[in-house]
Amino acid sequence: INDFVAFVNDLGGVDVYDPNYLVDEYDGNPPEFHHMYGHEALWYVRKREGTSDIDRNRRQQEMIRALMRKILWGGNLVNLPAWYAKYKNRYRSNLEFIDLVSFIPLALHFGDQSRIHYDQIGWEDVTSWRTSIGASVLLPKREALLWILDNAMRFVLAPSPYSDLVNTLEAQLTASPIPTDTPTSTPSPTPTETP
């Protein structure tokens, strides 16, 4: 938990877009992009009061999107060595630093979020049920979940060209020794003049 808070703070916070963002004691802002630092981001993804498991899953997906944008846009991956050094002893993985570096080209392709598809289980996909000890659980409807998985596989397997955004992210990473702020709109490559 503390590592999640620390990492979000190391990123300078994240911008989370949530049209269903609840106005409550933590944040009185209306639905829009919300800049969140560590503790607010943790509260956002863990909050249970007044919401459902499905709401919480949606918020967690939105946080993943926000983290990906912040990490991949604006040349922020130049911080990878520092992040690795700080957090390497706080998780278990068989990935070494050199492995992470080799995945940077693939990671930059995920910066084009039109190439990422998010599905979520909704109320129509589950049945509410109470266990013998009184716990409330959601039982999946098999046919609905199979349709979601099939839809996800069709998206993954559909060929699609990479956008210009990937070239921009590559240029930001190689040209910016100091990370820049996350762009507020989708950047496009700047044409270069040749003599």
Question: Residues 10-64: pLDDT tens digits?
Answer: 999 998 877 665 555 445 555 567 889 999 999 888 887 667 788 888 888 889 9
List Cα–Cα distances, 124 to 18, 59, 128, in angstroms: 21, 18, 10
3-class DSSP assignment, residue 145: helix
pTM: 0.70
Report helix, strand and coil shares of the chain as percent, to nearest 5.
50, 10, 40
Pairing of strands 136-140, 126-130: antiparallel
Q: Collect the ranges in the chain with pLDDT lower than 70.
A: 1, 19-32, 49-50, 175-195
